[in-house]
Structure 1
Amino acid sequence: MASDATFLLGVGAQKAGTSWLHDQLNRRSDADFGFLKEYHIFDALELERFANFRPKRPTPLKWRTWRRARFIARPERYFDYFASRLKPPQIRLTGDITPSYAGLSAESYQRIQKAFAQRGVQTRAVFIMRDPVERFLSQQRMQLRKRGLLTPAHEIEHLNKASLKLLKRESPRNDYPATLDALRDGLAKSEIFIGLYETLFTAVTHRKLCRYLGIPEQVSDGSHRVNASQATTSVPLEVLQRLGRHFSPLVAAVQERCPDLAVEQHWATAMTWREA
């Protein structure tokens, strides 16, 4: 195993380019991310909200489900598995990009880092944030697309209902400030990469990310967005105003914690409607 062997712990955010990032990195000849993008191990073990990712009994015979069940039953198998991905001398990077890991505690991030360190592997956490209004809209359109209902009429009705529901129950996947605090409390500054979806597909960010992961820079394909959900109609102003007011404290908290990211410049939709 190379002395700079790296495990990438992708902690989100959902609908913020994680599928594209996995696609770009896993196609490299010096990377091996195993049999899944999202393994859903630590969220299943530690976050009751994601208990649905725990294996059902009797365990289905699908080999991916069977293997995940073994990881959950004995997490050391998870760490051994990824360490084994890095044994061939040409492989320098492996990882698990599961957006719901954004809800983990600082102690969880510490345990993951220590378990890999014991196996001679360095951990590098990656957290990509997106304009919260745009992320919410994209997430809702994805749900409609999966159901075959991504039409103007369905989209308007769904967005109105979903935005009202959001006010009553927020997901830990959406709490950027809490994730930032947990990462910074649990890991060293050198072990955390924080970026924005809005700049993720640029050559500058890709160069920074490769340098951070300790891998040679390769030309990325920013033209192909994996799992992108395109709008089918204009979002009602009422919905945008509701979302802007709801996410205003989050935007301010991210600005305070990450002034270098200039979210007021890159999060145009949230900034436009936050005072509405």
Structure 2
Amino acid sequence: MNKFVIGIGSQRAGSTLLHRVLEQCTPIYMHPVKELHYFDTMFNVRNPSVLHKFAVSHLNKDIDRIIKAKELGFLNKRFKNSLRTNFLLSTRKVQHIDYLDLFRPCVQGSKLLGEITPEYMILPPEGIAKMRATVGDDAKILLLARNPVKRFISAFKLLMYGLPDADNTLFEEEMVKLLNSTNSEWLKVQDALNDYETALTGYQQEFKHVLILSYDNLFGDVEGTAEELSDFLQVPVSLPNYQKITGTKVNALDETKDLSDGTIELLKSRYVNNQSFLDKTFGKDACIA
């Protein structure tokens, strides 16, 4: 019987690195589509049209790769899993898809199946309950946490990425305007993605095994994190592979822009309670990156 490892958050907190570590350093079969967006789409955290557009785009890329290939050695089970998943997600509503089907044809022979979708962090209680009913209460849940101010700045940079003339001045002006708004759905989502305490409590009520990891340790304490993951997941974690991965920059949008002290204080004030929770969880000098 298969068991699951589910990464539930947070955006801009190292989920790409964690997926790569689990995929390349453990015996867990990590889904080739890093973010499946199954449960968050089912419970309207994410608009179904966004998932459909994403799946169609990636399905077309998979097909194009096959058409243009001079040799087809890459047509292994993992590639078929990606192709099949994008086909299912682009042609059916998630309510009509069995979650386990998204991992075929790699279900047999893989005792542990995994995926990471950051928006799972902000599922409503009924969404978390549905996840438990689907994957079992013995699934291993991983929550990544990052300094809320730094995480917000990184998320905002992603939002602004590609905007013409997005220099520091415009970047900061747009951020302050957004922070002072009262009806921004994007801002509400970012607030929820910084609320690690609520997410942790919600998942602990439904699942037996929930681990919160810090972004700082994921990048900075490779040996300690490898040991922590191994103990929690009950699988070996290859330290040499992990060390090799962290030597490569994982995400091109990781750096943040310079902001004035006033804007930084505005952000710190907004997320003071979130940072306080992280200080209690990891220590005062943790979660600073």
Instruction: Determine if the TM-score, normalized by the shorter chain, exceeds 0.5.
Output: yes
Structure 1 runs of 4+ with >6 Å offset: none
The amino acid across from 1:159 in the alignment is M
Shift of 1:6: 3.5
* 8 Å contact kept, 1:152–1:232: no
Q: 2:70: which partner in 1?
A: none
The superposition leaves residues 245-269 of structure 1 with CA deviations (integer Å, 9 ceiling, x where unpaired) of 10012223455xxx3422x221348
Counterpart selection for 2:94 from 72, 75, 78:
72
The amino acid across from 1:223 in the alignment is G
Structure 2 CA distance for partners of 1:150 and 1:204, relative to 1, 3 Å: farther
Unaligned runs of 5+ in 1: 270-276
Q: 1:196: which partner in 2?
A: 214
* TM-score scaled by length of structure 1: 0.77
Counterpart selection for 2:207 from 170, 180, 187:
187
Counterpart selection for 1:261 from 282, 285, 288:
282
Shift of 1:243: 0.4
Shift of 1:123: 1.2
The amino acid across from 1:229 in the alignment is L
- Of 103-112 and 241-250, more deviation after overlay is shown by 103-112
The amino acid across from 1:10 in the alignment is G
Shift of 1:39: 0.7
Structure 2 CA distance for partners of 1:159 and 1:114, relative to 1, 3 Å: same
CA distance in 2, matches of 1:17, 1:225: 11
Shift of 1:31: 3.2
Q: Secondary structure at the match of 2:265?
A: helix
Structure 2 CA distance for partners of 1:132 and 1:166, relative to 1, 3 Å: farther
Shift of 1:153: 3.8
Structure 2 CA distance for partners of 1:144 and 1:48, relative to 1, 3 Å: closer
Q: 1:215: which partner in 2?
A: 235
* 8 Å contact kept, 1:124–1:213: yes
Shift of 1:108: 2.9
Q: How does 1:114-193 map to 2 (within 5 A)?
A: 114-117=133-136, 122-147=138-163, 151-165=167-181, 169-171=187-189, 172-188=192-208, 191-193=209-211
Counterpart selection for 1:226 from 246, 250, 267:
250
Counterpart selection for 2:131 from 112, 116, 134:
112
Q: 1:47: which partner in 2?
A: 44
Structure 2 CA distance for partners of 1:149 and 1:131, relative to 1, 3 Å: farther
- How many residues are matched? 252
Counterpart selection for 1:19 from 16, 20, 35:
16
The superposition leaves residues 117-169 of structure 1 with CA deviations (integer Å, 9 ceiling, x where unpaired) of 4xxx9511100110000001111222333447554344333333343348964
Shift of 1:84: 5.5
The amino acid across from 1:38 in the alignment is E
Counterpart selection for 1:87 from 89, 102, 108:
108
* 8 Å contact kept, 1:34–1:85: no
Structure 2 CA distance for partners of 1:240 and 1:166, relative to 1, 3 Å: farther
Shift of 1:96: 1.8
Unaligned runs of 5+ in 2: 61-82
Q: Secondary structure at the match of 1:94?
A: strand
* TM-score scaled by length of structure 2: 0.74
Shift of 1:26: 1.9
Aligned-residue CA RMSD (Å): 3.0
CA distance in 2, matches of 1:200, 1:29: 15
Percent of aligned positions with the same letter in both sequences?
22
Q: Of the two structures, which has the highest relative contact order with CA contacts closer than 8 Å and spacing of 6 or more?
A: 2
Structure 2 CA distance for partners of 1:93 and 1:150, relative to 1, 3 Å: farther
CA distance in 1, matches of 2:45, 2:287: 31
